[in-house]
Amino acid sequence: MSSVMTEAVKTHMKDPKTISWPEFEELSPSQKGQYLVGPDGNLTATVYAQQFDRKLLDHLIELAELIRSSDYNEQLRAYVKTLLNTKSCALYFTQPSTRTFTSFSLAAQTVGMITEEIRDPEMSSLYKGESEIDTLLTLAELVDAVIMRQAEHSVIERFAYEVAHRGLPTRILNGGSGPVQHPTQALLELYTLVSHFDLANIEGGTFPVAIVGDLARSRTARSLSYLLALYPRIKQIFIAPEELQMGDDLTDYLDEHSIAWERCEDMDEKLPELDAIYMMRIQDEYGKTSEETRKRYAEYRLTIDRAKAMKPDACILHPLPRREELPIEIDADPRAMYWEAVNRGKFIRIALLLHMFGKDDIEKIKARAY
């Protein structure tokens, strides 16, 4: 039994056997999330960043920190390796990936899981005319968890619904779904931010965080924005050329949750006041990008000169891969935290896997550390 079942989760848990696909499809992501929780209150499918609340985030971060420290503790390391050693997972990644794929694969192996991978749809039965849902349902019969990335967000939604509705025990984790969601990337950015600023304990004032770039088509920007909304002190500043600005669906969500936000086109105007900045590349695989937009995008580079205008203790993040928007010279700046974030990513994914299988009791894990 997990120690983190929040009151909100308990009172809002719903039975997925009672809902049809057309009814499910109509729900908001937060409502859908109510059907993607097991009897212990733990997530069974992590599809949307809106499925996390503060209590669960704090818990995952604490667990990730503990496991991260196990790098120096042989005994803890050996124990962690036994936690899911009867489980298997399939990494179904049909879009390019280096970091997320490797990070999830290593996370799964660190907790003892057997991993299997499918990366090339040409080599699967999709090639013989099988639907993607059938391919995924096949995996659901064979493994205990499916970790997936694909260009169509609707595929993971349908799969998560089918698995829950059929009462299958398979866990599902979203490693990036089209331009819509990338919840674990958001988790690792947040984990990095929180470990530098101790956001949980700071009171009063506002904490401006800028999200800069192709906000219209970036799943990492969207998922991070939902998670940041769990911290009421954070003001979200969306810096982008008008045609790539953050969608109204997201800013409506922030309004509903009384979160301060602002859209802005001028990066230089905002830099001196920021506590953190999240940069990203142009997401040109999701539709045509005009030459004009490309030219404008070049104005949103975080150059060495521009970085000088930022606060001395600000935090610079980027999901990577990067292009010209973040020159490699910035890596030497002590405020650059994107490489450290890659490292933290593995540990927050370990924490999430443990949570989803109900193996996330921190006290129990700690007791085995020494």
User: Minimum distance between the CB of residue 67 and ligand NCD, rounded to whole angstroms?
Assistant: 20
DSSP string, 62-80: HHHHHHHHGGG-HHHHHHH
Report in angstroms how near the CB of residue 149 gets to ligand NCD at its nearest: 7
**Cα dihedral: 9, 12, 13, 19 (round 10):** -150
Q: Which CB atom, from 2 or from 100, has the smaller least distance to ligand NCD?
A: 100
- For residues 176 and 97, the answer to whether their CB atoms sit within 8 Å is yes
Least distance between ligand NCD and beta carbon 226 (Å): 15
What are the two backbone dihedrals, phi and then psi, of residue 275, each rounded to the nearest 5 degrees?
Answer: -90, -25
Q: Smallest gap, in angstroms, from Cβ of residue 197 to ligand NCD?
A: 22
Pair of tokens at residue 139 = 């995996």
Torsion angle, CA of 294/154/106/285, rounded to 10 degrees?
-20
- Tell me the residue number closest to ligand NCD, measured at CB: 319
Residue 42 or 181: the one with the smaller Cβ distance to ligand NCD is 181
**346 or 359, CB closer to ligand NCD?**
346
- 135 in Cβ contact with 126 (< 8 Å): yes
CA-to-CA dists, residue 219 to 98, 175, 229, 317, angstroms: 16, 10, 16, 15
The answer to whether the CB of 210 falls within 8 A of the CB of 180 is no
Distance of closest approach, residue 244 Cβ to ligand NCD, in angstroms: 13
The span from the CA of 256 to the CA of 241, in Å, is 25
- Secondary structure (H, E, C), 280-295: CCCCCCCCCCCHHHHH
User: Helix or strand or coil: residue 16?
Assistant: helix
Q: Which residues contact 294 (CB under 8 A, 6 or more apart)?
A: 282
Q: Which residues bind ligand NCD (CB under 6 A)?
A: 99-100, 176, 182, 185, 219-220, 280-281, 319-321
Q: Which is nearer to ligand NCD, 16 or 213 (CB)?
A: 213
Residue placing its CB nearer to ligand NCD in the complex, 94 or 100: 100
Q: Which is nearer to ligand NCD, 66 or 146 (CB)?
A: 146
- Smallest gap from Cβ 293 to ligand NCD, in A, equals 16
Q: Which is nearer to ligand NCD, 50 or 223 (CB)?
A: 223
Q: Nearest distance from residue 213's CB to ligand NCD, in Å? A: 9
Considering the complex, state which of residue 79 and residue 286 has its C-beta at the smaller distance from ligand NCD: 286
**CA dist., res. 321 & res. 331, Å (int):** 14
Q: How far is the CB of 99 from ligand NCD (least distance, A)?
A: 5
